[in-house]
Structure 1
Amino acid sequence: MEMLLLFGVFLVLLLAGIPIAFSLGIASMSFLLLEGMSLTVVPQRMYSGIDTFVLLCIPGFILAGNLMNVGNITEHIVRFSNAVVGHIRGGLGLANVGGSMIFGGISGTAVADAASIGSVMIPGMSKAGYDKPFSAAVTAASSTIGPIIPPSVPMIIAGSLTGVSVGRMFLAGAIPGLLLGLAMMVTVYLLAVRRGYPKEQKPTLRHLLREGRTAFWALMMTAIILYGIIGGFFTPTEASIVASLYALVVGMYVYKGLSWRKLPSILLDTVLTSSALLLLVGLANLFGWIMTTQQVPQMLADLILTVSDNPIVVILILNLILLFVGTFMETIAALIILFPALMGVATGVGMDPVHFAVMAVLNLMIGLTTPPVGVCLFVVSGIGNLPMLKVAHAIVPFLICNLAVLLLVSYVPAFSLWLPNLILGE
């Protein structure tokens, strides 16, 4: 009865439009009061949820993304991508995906990607003759690459929950992220040919070199972060600070889009975003703790294994659960609540923890582009001034290609494990 109240209150609040963090918190406190438990457990569990060193990198990567946006680094990434692929049919759509792949190697968050790339590309693509819903759909779909290609905030959360190496998970996401980007590029090209979208003039070698030279400092940011983490020169948390300092210097002194007067508003925005995210982590940890004390994860695991213990079937069930949860729950909350429980099921049928982590994050990223709580859909709808249903309809071809990549990643472990095993050993 008490668990029905917990989930019932949570779902009612969520459907009423209450932010997910407060929905989790109110539902959890309702359960504690009904059980007669002291509310002192609320700050205790919230604090224990955020008292993890690796979570310190979240404000760092958010700050790096904000500095990139204001410092014109994002614009140079998009211009370089357009110079490389703009002459192909649907080239601006391809550049949109390419820019997200590069940007994803710096910010690690899908929403930051959708907001930054979208503010440049959606108006630009519409002006060039692309349908606005298509422009918004490409932006939302490609933003999901960000948390797959390292660094990745969701993978940092997953690592803090289970103790799995964050560096190994970063490496494991590289090939699936590239597969996701290439699949979307193929989809963009096929739709562009079918609909007759424009292409730009083929760039001269001089133009290509000029754009490559101006984008060099932006591209080096990704290389420094990845090489530093993989090479053991700094932790993910230290990498986020290096990324922020690098973005500050390049934005201020190379691209000259930043100034000291803009820093207070950038820092304020970073503080607000980070505090909201960490509040969500803390309250989701409280909700997850209640579920654990009531043995819900164990019941869920037993239920799945009573259906089948065949790895192929179990992996399919895990995908369906994660996809369903991703349609209405924010990624971080879903990871904290479900990831440890489902990890036990996955490893029980022989899945590598790193392989499962990549599969879980990919599932939840797809959820960011599906109604009713597709955060990236809301972001691009706001930028394009479009009804969300129009964008949701336009994104269907990209969802199909993303699901195809998800099945490949789920059933072929080598896509996730080959690179970390090659570089770090098995």
Structure 2
Amino acid sequence: MTEVSTILDRFAQRVLGTRLPVGIRSWDGSTAGPEDGPRLVLHDRDALRFVLWRPGDLGLARAWVAGVLSVEGDLYELLGRISSALWEKKEPRSRAQGFHGLLKRLTRPGSAREALGVVALAGTALPPVVPVEEVRRRRGPAHTLRRDRRAISHHYDVGNEFYALVLGPSLVYSCAYWDDKELSSGGTLEQAQEAKLDLVCRKLALHKGQRLLDVGCGWGSLAIHAARHYGVRVVGVTISEEQAASARQRVAAEGLGHLVEIRVQDYREIEDPPFDAISSIGMAEHVGRERYRSYADILYGLLKPGGRLLNHQIARRPLRDEGSYRMNAFIDRYVFPDGELAPVGSTVSALEEAGFEVRDVESLREHYALTLRSWVTNLEEHWDEAVRLTSPGRARVWRLYMAACAVGFESNTMGVNQVLAVRASDTGRSEMPLRRDFLIPGQRRG
């Protein structure tokens, strides 16, 4: 009898047109593919069925989340090899659009035997049961208030204890700001997150008496930092009930209730402008392409003339066909429902079309890769606790998504940028200094 892994190797070469990029060990103990480096482990036939029904990232992700597929060796290296082999091919993505697309390719000379052999290995032709962690079909237009609340709840309302375990004491869910010297001498994630919070405050030129709006305030870390070190009054808004509850507790514990107000509120519902400064850190990815100009218009209207906006946002590389800004299927179904990434140039254009003057753009791509690796380490070191707080499937989702994103930032397929913009006065005054000395650490004005 031919070994399972041998059949899979022949299938990859003949039908998919590529050699296996990583090693494989199947449920019968057979192996195939490169002997060096990481290896995919198929624990039973369901792993194969997931991939047959949805070839590509979603099928592999479903098998991973269901626990019928795992990895031996370096997860980052494995993801990098698979990415290069499957998602950076020049062929159209439409060639891997499910089981029926696979059947259409059976007419290729010499491919029928290998393809049918794999189908036979999978057993029943019925699709496997999709893991419960996956978002089911969504109805109606994206990015309405109601649908956005559901999407945010799926990702953020999974337990504050779980987030504290992954993110660490800082409870900051965006990339940290690392320093080469501190990194080489053992600098911590918490130090790098403190540096990022302070960088945001310096770019906004915060000082005592000002009023700051923090859009997508998370667990309140930036609001607390700005109030404690710069003396500003902060309104933090989030549409996650669990985040807001935790943020309020943290604000009270710091004795900053007189300076910080945390609201469960969408940015589209704010009715008490103007603000001296606005921070939007890791929130704009949820806005959506069709509503981004409206997002920029709303923030512009909430600012005083001379006020500054700091927009911190993940970006993707420009595509020849700009028709889709959606994240890949795994991220959309399991991590950030309805999330959309735009190139940084599109973000800058939308802000300026709304009336902002963009004054500074800083790429933090490498910083996010380092941050994600730190989060993965936190999760792996506390794996049993993470599973107890959520579920085995949810913990696997997080490990895969964070590791995959780290590879994306390292390989320059994803980026993250801080865009500093100002609402100039009617006479054109920006209230910006002539030089960028305000970015030098230690220039606190509170």
User: How would you bin the TM-score normalised by the shorter chain?
Assistant: under 0.3
TM-score normalised by the chain length of structure 1: 0.26
**Relative contact order, CA 8 A, sep 6+: which one is greater?**
1
> When you count strand as a share of all residues, which structure comes out higher?
2
Q: Of the two, which has the highest radius of gyration? A: 2
> When you count helix as a share of all residues, which structure comes out higher?
1
TM-score normalised by the chain length of structure 2: 0.25
